[in-house]
Structure 1
Amino acid sequence: MAGTTRICGCKGYRFCVECENAFAKEFVNLSTSLPPVDRVYEYCIKCKKAWPVETTLDVSLCPSHSGTPVEIEGIHIQESFLTDEESRKLLKGCDSIEWSQSQSGRRKQNFGPKTNFKEKKLKIGNFKGFPTVFKWVHKKIKEVKILEDYKVIENCSLEYRPETGAYIDKHIDDCWVWGERIVTINILGDSYLTLTKYEGSHDKYNLKYVDFKSKHSVANNVAIRLPMPVNSLMVLYGEARYIWEHAVTRSDINNRRVCIALREFTSWFLDGSNEVANEVLRKAKEYYPIEQRFEA
């Protein structure tokens, strides 16, 4: 599959519906779902605990959920972070910018520095700041206490559509360049983020740069589903950021979903000693108008 030429954005073992239709034999043994687990939990936004479920969690029953819950540190979900009017405004802004093909059936709009996680290289690339359509939401996140000092240096809009078979593989965001707080703003479509505990080498994801140990004892072979309702803000940090991989499965994309992922620098890029990082931080304070382009 490495040598397979594809016109979509997929590479290697990542695939979408178009890949499956064109190269059915190559992708027959691959899955867009997570491996089987012993138990599935769903996180309750109200009580901030994850409860065992067979289908979906009834939040209205809180605090009288059934079963024994598990807890993990580092999850902040704020419902109605955006108003309906704000989400429409943000979606209109995203759709005024050209979408690029990404992997696994997704489309993206990426604004930030050029990074090479494997070789640990950071370049300014063509980064010149952010489109003005994002300025107000970058300011709005600072109203959230745990994000008061957040310095956005990457803004990535992501689109998932069921007709393209969109999903994202389980992963941990790189730990060499991206800071502790991983921010997602869900502006169209309800969905879930699924967590599974990572048990691999600390060389992967550059986890060796992080000295972090879990505060809670949760069995390895479980999945924890985090609700991502429309208009919500999600922040992963600490244990949820570094101990658990996160994924969006194809089965959780039932309609068009659009979200914005924001990233900050790790602490060693904020001390003023790295000239490229300093330039990125300067550029990240700039906003520029874009040529309007609305899709039908």
Structure 2
Amino acid sequence: MGLPRFIRPNGVDEQLSPNLYVANCGPSVGLSYEIIKSVFSKFGQVKGVYAADESGARVIVSYVDVGSAQAALKALDGHSCPDLGGRSLHIRFSVLQPTSEVNDSIPVSLVASELSIPGLYLWHDFINAKEEQELLTAVDDRPWNNLSKRRVQHYGYEFCYETRNVNTKEQLGELPSFVSSILERISSLPDLGDSASLVLDQLTVNEYPRGVGLSPHIDTHSAFEGLIFSLSLAGPCIMEFRRYLDGSWLPKTASSNDMKVKNLENGSNLIRRAIHLPPRSMLLLSGEARYAWHHYIPHHKIDMVNDNVIRRGSRRVSFTFRKVRKGPCQCEFPQYCDSQR
């Protein structure tokens, strides 16, 4: 989406650059981007200050010219800086990261029909603001499980991230009462047809801090049936869908069903679509959208939607409802199906 991306220096093949990687410096240690820019501007014109990662304690300071970056590095690296709270900064040169796969900027749709992906639906304002707050309060009153970059809660059955599957012999109980009205509303959706009678029995609640996304994947076929509902709360995001053709997609192993993307394509065998998911919207993956398209949330703090800059909230919480599968999958997409490989 056009935001700068920088390679973290490895300390071996360091090269001169107008961009500096600065550690022990950032909002999480009490230093705003404005203060950082004012200090580094003493050495030359600063184009911008960017987060180097999700820690909030490391930034990229980008100058107009290399000479300014050299002067700042020489003056500030390893020295206590009174203007930055007496902190000792650790500075290295950094360079722009080459773009990978294909051009990162693709049109973002606001409605599902524009994507032309069979089985993909999106309902805006599926719940109101009061219901949203009640759901957030309900999960915040319950214990979270910490993953590497986000927190989760599981209801009905626990999803095991190591195997990307569920143990159908270990049921956690019924889904909580605070989602009963959501389940009733789902069953009355007009596009479900005969599937409206499907009893959803698994719920995963994910909390994504600002800037944290989701790696490209297809939900394991053998784990869940063909309808997957995801309710977005608290903050917006962009969800991208990818369809890999002609064998360009490969799972890590058939046994683990990791569904990770190779990220080596030149774009010729890859179809990409993107949609904006506002708070309180409900997304449905069914049919081809569920079984054959990878879905992915870019790790961004800012998204571009039709030339509009949309900042993600301090967190996004998703409620994902699924039906646990009790037998092998017999879908029409065997190349993506762990039951048929």
**TM-score normalised by length of structure 1:** 0.61
**Amino acid in the other structure paired with 1:17:** E
**Amino acid in the other structure paired with 2:203:** N
**1:179 is matched with which residue: 222, 225, 235?**
225
What SS does structure 1 have at the residue aligned with 2:118? coil
**Amino acid in the other structure paired with 1:43:** S
Higher relative contact order (CA 8 A, sep 6+): 1
**1:73 is matched with which residue: 103, 114, 118?**
118
Per-residue deviation at 1:173? 0.2
What SS does structure 2 have at the residue aligned with 1:124? strand
- 1:17 corresponds in structure 2 to 54
- 1:248 corresponds in structure 2 to 297
**Amino acid in the other structure paired with 2:117:** I
Q: Does 1:231 align with 2:315?
A: no
- 1:58 corresponds in structure 2 to none
- 1:169 corresponds in structure 2 to 215
Taking a change above 3 Å as real, the CA distance of residues 130 and 233 of structure 1, as seen in their structure-2 partners, is same
Aligned partners of 2:159, 2:317: CA distance in 1, in Å? 23
Per-residue deviation at 1:247? 1.0
**TM-score normalised by length of structure 2:** 0.54
Output one character per residue of 1:196-228: Cα deviation in whole Å (capped at 9) or x when no partner. 223424737759xxxxxxxxxx96334211221
The unaligned stretches of length 5 or more in structure 1 are 1-15, 22-27, 51-70, 208-217, 271-296
| Alignment map for 1:92-171 (pairs within 5 Å) | 92-103=137-148, 105-114=149-158, 118=163, 122-125=167-170, 127-145=172-190, 146=192, 148-162=196-210, 165-171=211-217
Structure with max Cα Rg:
2
**Amino acid in the other structure paired with 2:154:** N
What SS does structure 1 have at the residue aligned with 2:133? helix
**How many pairs align?**
214
Output one character per residue of 1:54-103: Cα deviation in whole Å (capped at 9) or x when no partner. xxxxxxxxxxxxxxxxx221110001110111111111112111222123
What SS does structure 1 have at the residue aligned with 2:300? helix
What SS does structure 1 have at the residue aligned with 2:187? helix
Taking a change above 3 Å as real, the CA distance of residues 19 and 176 of structure 1, as seen in their structure-2 partners, is farther
Per-residue deviation at 1:265? 2.9
Q: Does 1:258 align with 2:258?
A: no
Aligned partners of 2:57, 2:255: CA distance in 1, in Å? 28
Per-residue deviation at 1:126? 5.5
Aligned partners of 2:57, 2:242: CA distance in 1, in Å? 26
Per-residue deviation at 1:119? 9.9
**Root-mean-square deviation (Å):** 3.5
What SS does structure 2 have at the residue aligned with 1:231? coil
